[in-house]
Amino acid sequence: MRRFYQGSDLARIHSIAELAELARRRLPAFAWEYLAGGAEDELTLTRNRQAFAALGLQARTLVPCHPPSTRCALLGQSLPLPMAIGPTGYNGLLYRDADIHLAQAATARGLPYCLSTVSNAALEEIVSQVPGVDLWFQLYAMRDLGIQNDLLERAGRAGCSTLLLTSDAMVLGNREWDRRNYVRPRQLSLANKLDVLCHPRWLRQVMWPRGLPRLGNLDPYLPESERSALGSMKFIGEQMDSLLDWDSLARLRDRWPGKLLLKGVLHADDAEQAIALGLDGIVISNHGGRQLDGAVSSLEALAALAPKVRGRLALLLDGGIRRGSDILKARALGADAVLLGRATLYGVAVAGSDGAGRALDLLAEELRRSLNLMGCPALDRLGPDCLHLKPLAEAFARPPTANPEALS
């Protein structure tokens, strides 16, 4: 009978799906739901995976299998792999000091790490505890410009090379399954409180001895009563600048001296506008299926806009990446690199920096193996001719299946 490994030997974990199952078993239900779930009917969450599954690979044969080159150029840097760990919030609910562990895993492999505005570790902590980190910072636009400007100054002092402005979360998505864990905002149901007690390892790892983690970047601006991970949610909701527009982005471009990316782009016209404002890149993203349910998959959006804008700014993609072959497909469609979210979060939830590192290593191994099996000696040899594009359109003529991660 087929079943995933359930022990602690990371060498026996052979896929991101296996890491996900271990994470599900180790986390309380409310924390797992926050990690794995999506908005409303989870159509976009599922569509992100369906798009990769529907896209066929056109392999060439009788090509010698030398170790393939996976180096890539991104934003003026040379990276060993076309990936970075993307910004995710409230990671301390998964593992103590999870942000630091993620940064350590990325840095050990020569990859960038992007810290979220709503991280549990502060910018200053990452820099002090992870020597040599290539630190990026993700910014949520704030109504209070004093707070926003102070965050930008802190990011500059911390040596952040790249800023990502998230544009698709000015209004929070309707994450119904997440909300069902609470009887009212920030108060877990009795069933969930009992479930937490059934996870003593998580209680020791996350809650002992200080309770819920705070939000390191926002801690200086929060009222004392709202500094925990759950307590801060009200503050975040009130501070999101729902009037963010292109003029706001232009002002940010003038203010930020480093690389600037816009995260949350799905339309080619928006990519053109980003080019006109002098941005260095975009992140093609539907926020992991957590915002607008029914939005196109990131991969579909990449296929539509890459032919129009590739080479004029950096193209990054996130959403649904679970295999090295997914990264290969994104590269073939025109992405320069991918940002990883849930894949490395599953790893950090299981075993901190070692678990996150295992996730990165699995994806790297699969990418190299897939390139060999494709008969492709290097990333820069990938293109649309390596793909069978027709199924991508046909796949969405059928209704999406249920999200297996949310149901597991």
Neighbours of 246 (CB within 10 A): 14
Consecutive sets of 10 residues in the chain, 408 residues long: mean pLDDT of each? 92 97 97 96 97 94 92 96 97 96 98 96 97 97 93 97 94 93 90 96 91 89 74 77 93 96 97 98 97 97 96 97 98 98 98 98 98 95 87 60 48
CATH topology of domain 10-176+236-401: TIM Barrel (3.20.20)
Is 287 considered catalytic here? yes
Cα distance between residue 175 and residue 311, in whole Å: 36
Cα distance between residue 104 and residue 35, in whole Å: 20
Cα distance between residue 397 and residue 384, in whole Å: 22
Q: Which of 158, 88, 91 is nearest to 116 (CA)?
A: 88
Q: Tell me which amino acid residue 295 is.
A: A
Which of the following is catalytic: 14, 66, 199, 287?
A: 287
Phi and psi at residue 319, in whole multiples of 5°? 110, 105
Neighbours of 46 (CB within 10 A): 23
At 22 the pLDDT is 97
Q: Which of 237, 301, 294 is nearest to 263 (CA)?
A: 301
At 407 the pLDDT is 38
For the chain, the structural domain boundaries read: 10-176+236-401, 177-227
At 404 the pLDDT is 47
At 408 the pLDDT is 38
Cα distance between residue 125 and residue 377, in whole Å: 40
Q: Where are the beta strands (DSSP E) in 285-366?
A: 314-317, 337-340
Expressed in angstroms, the distance from the first to the final Cα of the chain is 18
Relative to beta strand 314-317, strand 281-284 is parallel
CA dihedral 12, 13, 15, 17 (to 10 degrees): 140
